[in-house]
Amino acid sequence: SPIETATNFVAIDCGGDETVSKAILSGLVEAGVFVRMPGFAPQNRCIRVSAGTGSDLDVLESALVPVLEMVRSTV
């Protein structure tokens, strides 16, 4: 679930704990998406995806669904 923002990134609540967030972060990084994650609870249930160009958003769009499916099947 995206969280409303006024910055150059979108915070996404991954709907789980740090384990879920780290798994999503790792999958997206492997796909070439620049992602960060807060280090402390409860914020570490979220990831931060930086805003970018249209081609950057295409990379995110093509990576996000497969990563989420992979994480759901393993966590």
The three-state secondary structure class of 51 is coil
Cα R_g (the chain), whole angstroms: 12
Q: Give me 51's structure tokens.
A: 């805003």
Per-residue pLDDT of 32-73, as tens digits, reads 888 999 999 999 999 998 878 888 888 889 999 999 999 999
The rounded distance, in Å, linking the Cα atoms of 73 and 50 is: 26
- Cβ-contact 45, 16 below 8 angstroms: yes
Residue 13 has pLDDT above 90, yes or no: yes
